Structure 1
Amino acid sequence: MHSFRKAFKDQAPLYVFVAVLFLVGVLFGAMMVNALSLEQQQDIARYLNHFFVNLHEGGPASGQSSFWEIASLHLKWIGLIWILGLSVIGLPGILILDFLKGVLIGFTVGYLVGQYSWSGLLFALVSVAPQNMLMIPIVMMCSVTAIHFSLYMIRNRLLVQRGGSLAKPLMSYAITTGVMALATLAAASFEMWVTPSMMRWVTPMLVQATNLAF
C-alpha cells in the first residue's frame, strides 16, 4: 500500500496531464457536433431513431453479440497502450489515444444532448457514463503507467546510458496493466448486462421525442 501511494504521488503530474488531455478531447468532440453537415446530422438521426425504436420494441441493445466481443474492444485499447509504452516512439501514440477517447465520449454525449435535449442527456447518463466511470480511470492509469515506463526508458537508456536490469520496472508495468485488464472485464460485464436494462428504461422518452419531432 505504501509503495502504491508513493508511486501515485510520484506520478501525480502525469495523471493531471492525462486528465487535462482527456477533457480537451471531450470538449473537442462536443464541438465537432456543430461541424456536422445537415446530411450527416440526418443520417445519424435516422440511425439513432431506428435504434431507439428497435430497443423500445425489445430488440438487442447493441451490435455486440457476446460479452467477449465487448470485452475485447476495451482490452485491445488497453493492449495498444501497453505496447506503445514499451517503445520510446510510442509515447505520442499514448497521448493520441487518450485524446481520441475523450473525443469519442464528447461527441456522443454532445450529439445526444444537442439532438434530444434533456432526454438525450438522460440517455447518455445511462448508456455512456456507467461503464466509462470504470473505463476512464482504467485507461488513465494504464496511460500514466505506460508514459512513466517510456520516460524511464528515455532517461535511463537513451540519455544517461545506465546499466542495470529492466526486469523490475517491466514486471511492475506488466502487473499494473494486467490488473487493469481484469478491471476492464468488470466494465464489460456492466456494459453487457446492466447498461441495456437502463437504456430500455429511458428509450420510451426518446421514442416519444422522435415522434414529436417528425
Structure 2
Amino acid sequence: MNFIINKLNQTFRDKKVYFFMVLIMFCLGISFGLYAVKYMNESNRNDLISYFSGFTSSIGDTPIDYGNLLFNVIKKNMLIIIPIFIFGLTFFGMPFILILDMLKGFTLGYTFSFIMTTFEGKGIGLALVSVIPQNLIYIPCFIALSVIALSFSTQRFKGKFFKRTNVKDPFLNLIGNKLIIILAVFTIGILIETYVSPNLIKFVVTKFY
C-alpha cells in the first residue's frame, strides 16, 4: 500500500504542471456551466424545466431500461475519452485535450446547477444522487487520462521540433498497464451510472418530490 501511495506522490510531483492545467480547465468548465444556467434565457429555461418536471413525474412508474441506458452511458463517455486519447497521439493535441477537460467540467457544472435551480432548496438531494456517485469515479479517471495524453502529446511535440530531445518520458513506461487500470476503474463508474444512480434518483423522486 505504501508503495502505491509513494508511486502516486512521485507521479504527482513529476507531472504537477499537467495536473494543475487539467484541474484549472476542469474548474473553469464547472464555473462556465454554473453561469450558463444562471444567465439562460427564459424560454430555454422553461423548456428544460418542463421536460425535467415531466421526467421526475414519470420516473416512479417507468421501468428502467438498463440495456439502453448502458449503451447511452458508454457512448456519452466515449465521446470524450476517445478524442482525448487521439489528441494525445498528436504533437498538437495539448490545447484540444484541455478544451475537452473544460467541456467535461461544463457539463458537470451545468447539470448540477440546473437541477439545483429547478427544484430550488429541494434540488440538492436529486442533484447529489444524479451527479455525484459516478463522477467520484469519472473525474479522477479523466484527470489521469488527460495527464497521460498531455505527456504523450508533449513528447511528440518535442520530438518534432526539438530533435535533440529524444529521451523517453519515464512516466510513459508501462503505459498499457496504466491505461488498463484507468479503464477498469472507469468501468466501475459506468456500472454505477447505469445500475446505481437511476435507482437512487427513483428513490429520491418517489420519496421527496
TM-score by length of 1: 0.84
User: Deviation digits for residues 103-147 of structure 1, max 9, x if unmatched?
Assistant: 101111111111212321211100111001100110011001111
Q: Which residue of 2 aligns with 1:8?
A: 12
Letter in 1 for 2:51: Y
Letter in 1 for 2:100: L
Q: State how far apart, in whole Å, the 2-side matches of 1:141 and 1:167 are.
A: 16
Where does structure 1 lack aligned partners over 5 or more consecutive residues? 208-214
Q: Which residue of 1 aligns with 2:179?
A: 177
Task: Check whether the contact 2:92–2:157 (CA below 8 A) recurs between aligned residues.
Answer: no
Q: State how far apart, in whole Å, the 1-side matches of 2:36 and 2:65 are.
A: 25
Q: Is residue 52 of structure 2 the alignment partner of residue 48 of structure 1?
A: yes
Q: Is residue 187 of structure 2 the alignment partner of residue 188 of structure 1?
A: no
Q: Which residue of 2 aligns with 1:28?
A: 32
TM-score by length of 2: 0.86
Letter in 2 for 1:118: G
**CA shift for structure 1 position 69:** 4.0
Letter in 1 for 2:74: A
Aligned sequence identity (%): 24
Q: Is residue 164 of structure 2 the alignment partner of residue 140 of structure 1?
A: no
The total of aligned residue pairs comes to: 205
Task: Check whether the contact 1:84–1:93 (CA below 8 A) recurs between aligned residues.
Answer: yes
User: Deviation digits for residues 19-78 of structure 1, max 9, x if unmatched?
Assistant: 12111110110000122111101110111011101112234378x715344234324422
- Over 3 Å counting, the alpha-carbon distance change for 1:3 and 1:122 in structure 2 is closer
What CA RMSD, in Å, does the superposition of the two structures yield over aligned residues? Answer: 2.5
Q: Which is worse superposed, 29-38 or 174-183?
A: 174-183
**CA shift for structure 1 position 161:** 3.6
Where does structure 2 lack aligned partners over 5 or more consecutive residues? none
Q: State how far apart, in whole Å, the 2-side matches of 1:66 and 1:206 are.
A: 24
Match of 2:81 among 73, 78, 97: 78
Letter in 1 for 2:60: H
Q: State how far apart, in whole Å, the 2-side matches of 1:123 and 1:183 are.
A: 25
